[in-house]
Structure 1
Amino acid sequence: MAQHGMVDPAIFESLQEKVDQESATREVLQEIVQTLEKQGRSAKAILSRAHSTPVSEVQDVVNSAEGAVRHQLDSVTKLSEAASKQPYYKWNWIWTHQVQDTIFTILFCGWLGGYNSKESGRLLTIEEVGEIMKVPVNLKDRDAFHITITEYLLSLVSLIEELSRLARNSVTLGDYKRPVQISQFIKDVHAGFQILNLKNDILRKRSDGLKYKVKEVEDVVYDLSLRGLMPKEDS
């Protein structure tokens, strides 16, 4: 009598079902993330106008940028709804870059005086960013969509890189106050990073580059002082 195989084909049928479910999940998430990426590019394009806009007119750029960020926030809401049905760390790689871009655009808007900052130069906290995005931050007690501290810090490094460019471009616009303001801000953030004991390799690598940004902006300020262009303290 012929022996039947000991492997039940139903095992593979159920595996196929799981594979199909995973593919469907990936497609749903990727579609939202592609939209978020496009929206991020639009918001960044608007924010890049800050580099060629006098400070007196920057509020217009900020208002337009906040409008563009609202589209990103709509996508983040969709992403949060879809992703919270899934194990967070299994799928986080799909959206983390686009979420960092969203955090960056919010941080830059905030720094330029948006999000009720009233004046430029303010760093929005991770909690404030979470409130704007309407998502939890640094979740430990349940498996749901959230912003991680690493994502926030990587976005902050991007902000510093952007501000070091803004310092140079401000001089071109004849604005000698902003580089001094940026220099102080970057030093403060860099000092903050020195306190952190970073385990994440990417974050450690990128935050190591902050010292060069501190130096770049210090050079801009030093150059202004050599040329007698430093703003008066009380001005």
Structure 2
Amino acid sequence: MSASNGMFSPEIFQDLQARVDRDVKVREELKDITQELEKNVRVVSFALSKAHSTPVSELSSVLEAAEKPIQKVVESVGKLSASASPLPYYKFNDMWSRKMQDATYGVLLWAWLGGKNEAGDTTNGRLLTIDEVGSILNVPVNLKDEDKFHLTIEEYLQAIISLVEELSRLARNSVTLGDYARPLLISKFVKDLLAGFQVLNLKNDNLRRRSDGLKYRVKDVEDVVYDLALRNLIPKPT
């Protein structure tokens, strides 16, 4: 009997069930990959956490130890990109967005500590651009015209905030190691980032709330530098 007579075909629900089953299968596949990515990101974080207890003169060993885990992260991101790109991006991106933030943060911290750039050079205290991160992770960034996997500006900015939070800890721990120069480098760096965020007109509520907290992390670093100044421990310019 036709739908106009108030009846419906059972095939409607059969079709819906088939679609649900396909989504479940996709989500299970993505879940396995994102769990692998999360595991590899944790290994990177563990390797780089040793920077808090390692003098700058010995930091190369920490950076080298993080290189293979970072490559594992790149491989996991590649798998995720291959599986996710054929899918509607915003239907499933909630499954990997936080993991991509964490992966980006790991790459940013590694580079800031002195990880080698594409030319093989090391520069302490640099911030990778979103395009440089995309190049390292081998994924496109901020796609607007294509509905496929990419690194978003929001994920990159979230990672920068995580970087500032970590550097505020590093400033304190550097003093414990007797390194009085690094807090000054960190202080200038995080102040510049705070100034950059203040220029942005952020629409994402979570991102805006986290960025509002940056001023407290900057103050934490300023307090470290102020304490060094009081104790006359500020290194003289060379």
TM-score, normalising length from structure 1?
A: 0.96
Listed as ranges, the matches of 1:38-49 within 5 Å are: 38-49=39-50
* 1:143 corresponding residue in structure 2: 147
* 1:108 corresponding residue in structure 2: 109
Choose from 173, 177, 185 the match for 1:173: 177
Question: Alpha-carbon deviations, 1:30-87, whole Å to 9, x = none?
Answer: 0000111111111101110000000001111111112111101100000000000100
CA distance in 1, matches of 2:86, 2:145: 16
CA distance in 1, matches of 2:116, 2:70: 11
Measure how far apart 1:14 and its partner are. 1.0
Listed as ranges, the matches of 1:74-223 within 5 Å are: 74-116=75-117, 118-223=122-227
CA distance in 2, matches of 1:233, 1:18: 66
The percent identity for this pair of structures is: 59
CA distance in 1, matches of 2:65, 2:193: 27
CA distance in 1, matches of 2:123, 2:195: 22
Amino acid at match of 2:222: E
SS where residue 82 of structure 1 aligns?
helix
- 1:36 equivalent in alignment to 2:25: no
Amino acid at match of 2:177: L
Question: Alpha-carbon deviations, 1:146-199, whole Å to 9, x = none?
Answer: 010000000000000000000000000000000000000000000000110111
Measure how far apart 1:115 and its partner are. 3.0
- 2:171–2:183 CA contact under 8 A, matched in 1: yes
Amino acid at match of 1:9: P
SS where residue 118 of structure 1 aligns?
coil
Flag structure 1 segments of 5+ consecutive residues without an equivalent: none
CA distance in 2, matches of 1:36, 1:145: 15
CA distance in 1, matches of 2:10, 2:218: 63
CA distance in 2, matches of 1:23, 1:119: 45
SS where residue 124 of structure 1 aligns?
coil
CA distance in 2, matches of 1:64, 1:127: 24
Amino acid at match of 2:144: K
Measure how far apart 1:5 and its partner are. 7.5
CA distance in 2, matches of 1:60, 1:124: 21
C-alpha RMSD of matched pairs (Å):
1.1
Measure how far apart 1:230 and its partner are. 0.4
* Aligned length, in residue pairs: 231
- 2:116–2:123 CA contact under 8 A, matched in 1: no
CA distance in 1, matches of 2:122, 2:83: 35
TM-score, normalising length from structure 2?
A: 0.95
Moved over 6 A (4+): none
Flag structure 2 segments of 5+ consecutive residues without an equivalent: none
Question: Alpha-carbon deviations, 1:78-137, whole Å to 9, x = none?
Answer: 000000010001100000111111000000000001032522100000000000011000
